Chain A
Amino acid sequence: MAMKINASQCSACGACEFECPNAAISMKGDAYAIKASACTECDGDEPKCTAVCPVDGCIVKA
């Protein structure tokens, strides 16, 4: 149970890193990536990373 960033869609703006309540998101190469072991999908709320991401379909359930 974790979210996943589609690297080809990521614009590397960093908004999701800033918003993640679990500090599960960091820069990896040219794009951001989510550390699956730290992600809780925001425990049933709308995931903050998906809510802030400017690119539709970039952050999805893994």
Chain B
Amino acid sequence: MSSNVIPLSSILAKRPDRAVDAKPAGGCSSSSCGSSKGQGEMPDHVWNKIKDHPCYSEEAHHYFARMHVAVAPACNIQCNYCNRKYDCSNESRPGVTSERMTPEQAARKVVAVANKVPQLSVLGIAGPGDSMFDALKTFETFRQVEKLLPDLKFCVSTNGLALPDHVDRLADHNIDHVTVTINMVDPEIGTAIYPWIYFKGKRYTGLDASKILHERQMESLERLKGKDILVKVNSVMIPGVNDAHLMEVNAAIKERGAFLHNVMPLISDPAHGTHFGLTGQRGPTPSELKTLQDQLAGGANLMRHCRQCRADAVGMLGEDLSQDFTMDKIGDEVVYDPEPRRLYREVVERERADHRQAAEVARADLAATIPAAPAKLVAIATKGGGRINQHFGHASEFQVYEVDAAGVRFVGHRKVENYCQGGWGDEDVLEDKVIPILAGLDAVFVSKIGSCPKKDLARAGIAAVDAYPFEYIETAIASWYAETFGVAEQDFA
């Protein structure tokens, strides 16, 4: 596992060569430049609650790790995109887990992970069933963990049906945010997504089921707002079912105080045995997803870095160490050592301030490029820390940024098959599995890349850029863009 865990040294790598000027770029206050990297337009009380949460804050996802414990297997609704009988350690998607555990086991696992992964900032309960239907186990887990790690933040993910009954209890714990999955605000549309629900001792189907679910979801949002708990809403984008409707969902949830809306693509591989998988319902293409996300961008803040991770995921977003922390690898007695996490937090505080300054400088550089130059899409190989610090062949996902004179914007990520196995690059994997995924990008930034893959990428119209190893992502992209499109003539008159 050591190759996966990010050592402190990797985020403290080489300093940028250029002098970093602390002064903000002229005329452009940090609240109006449209970058979702940092606080942006978020009010202070919201930002303080999410700034260390990798799933909520795009900036935090470079620095902090989350873990999920699968203590809540029971669910009270059936969704057409979910089949909880299916379990495979190679699968990475919500609702899937390899190991179910008791609250006592979960507490031991949290300690074992916190000792090895100092980036850990959040413990989430996301199932594999519903955290609020299986609430007894969820709350018992919180009780046991907060005795050992009082500073760890908790979060839960739920469909909202049982949530209104538990809001008061949630507020008693170290919970700043709750995720509610809402796929519709029109029960007619709900009938195509939810075949049944189980509510107050009875199974409901058809329109009745969706009506109850909808009313309870809206009540959940209002009650959470009343307790000052931040709400993120997840929506699964299902083409032809709710894709056009998600604009209405966005408006409805924003009106009820949700601060973040996460639109995720439907996963419907027939091999998973879900209703949608078996009936041939397709998921959206990456461009359909991006088009919808762009349309929604004016509503509740959108997040684009969601990795739709497993109910037992461990580590930084985009990596999963869950197989390194199965219960058989965790001893019966584990003792928590708070020192690594405390040190890590100190380092990250300094590093983040530094990173923000570098991003300001990059923004100023870009503002000086030709305004009419075309926007470019680039991919970044990174192990975290907001830096270009991964070898091309070692990347199993690339973060994608868009750049033009207005700035550098994170737009999403693309997962690829790891083509470099044990020092040897597999040409077939590169040709068939990696390059097609990167199609449409203008450049790939890596810490290092071999000459063969570099040529192969060039043939596909993608420039491999290895001139900025260990630089901050924004600094490297801005320098490259400014070199490509020159600097606009400045008018000093």
Contact with A along B394-433 (1 / 0, CB 8 A): 0000000000000000000000000000000000000000
**Distance in Å: Cβ of B280 to nearest Cβ of chain A:** 20
Q: How many residues on B have C-beta within 8 angstroms of the other chain's C-beta atoms?
A: 17
| Given A46-B203, A51-B198, A52-B76, also A11-B134 (CB < 8 A) | no
Range of interface residues on A (Cβ < 8 Å): 10 to 19
Question: A55 to chain B: which residues have CB within 8 Å?
Answer: 85
Question: A46 to chain B: which residues have CB within 8 Å?
Answer: 202-203
Question: B134 to chain A: which residues have CB within 8 Å?
Answer: 14-15, 18
A23 within 8 A of B: no
Q: What's the dominant secondary structure at chain B's contact region?
A: loop
A12 within 8 A of B: yes
B74 within 8 A of A: yes
Q: Are B203 and A13 in contact (CB under 8 A)?
A: no
Q: Are A51 and B73 in contact (CB under 8 A)?
A: no
A58 vs B105: C-alpha distance in the bound complex, in angstroms? Answer: 28
B469 within 8 A of A: no
Instruction: Name the residue of chain A whose CB is nearest to the CB of B201.
Output: A48
A46 vs B200: C-alpha distance in the bound complex, in angstroms? Answer: 13
Question: A19 to chain B: which residues have CB within 8 Å?
Answer: 198, 201
| Given A54-B78, A54-B84, A55-B85, also A14-B201 (CB < 8 A) | no
B352 within 8 A of A: no
**Distance in Å: Cβ of B281 to nearest Cβ of chain A:** 19
Q: Are A13 and B84 in contact (CB under 8 A)?
A: yes
Of A11, A50, A51, A52, the residue contacting B84 (CB under 8 A) is A11
Q: Are B129 and A52 in contact (CB under 8 A)?
A: no
Question: B51 to chain A: which residues have CB within 8 Å?
Answer: none
Instruction: Name the residue of chain B whose CB is nearest to the CB of A58.
Output: B85
B245 within 8 A of A: no
A11 vs B97: C-alpha distance in the bound complex, in angstroms? Answer: 12
A52 vs B84: C-alpha distance in the bound complex, in angstroms? Answer: 14
Of B75, B76, B100, the residue contacting A12 (CB under 8 A) is B100
* A9, A52, A54: residue with the most chain B Cβ atoms closer than 10 Å: A54
**Distance in Å: Cβ of B203 to nearest Cβ of chain A:** 4
Contact with A along B125-137 (1 / 0, CB 8 A): 0001100011010
Question: A11 to chain B: which residues have CB within 8 Å?
Answer: 73, 84-85
Q: Are A13 and B75 in contact (CB under 8 A)?
A: yes
A→B interface (CB under 8 Å): 9, 11-15, 18-19, 46, 48, 50-52, 54-55
B→A interface (CB under 8 Å): 73-76, 78, 84-85, 100, 128-129, 133-134, 136, 198, 201-203
- Using A50-B203, A52-B76, A52-B198 as known contacts, list a sample of 11 further A-B pairs with CB atoms less than 8 Å apart, ordered by residue number in A: A11-B73, A11-B84, A14-B74, A15-B133, A48-B201, A51-B202, A52-B74, A52-B203, A54-B75, A54-B85, A55-B85
* 12 pairs, A vs B, C-beta closer than 8 Å: A11-B84, A11-B85, A13-B74, A14-B73, A14-B74, A14-B134, A15-B75, A15-B198, A46-B202, A52-B74, A52-B76, A52-B203
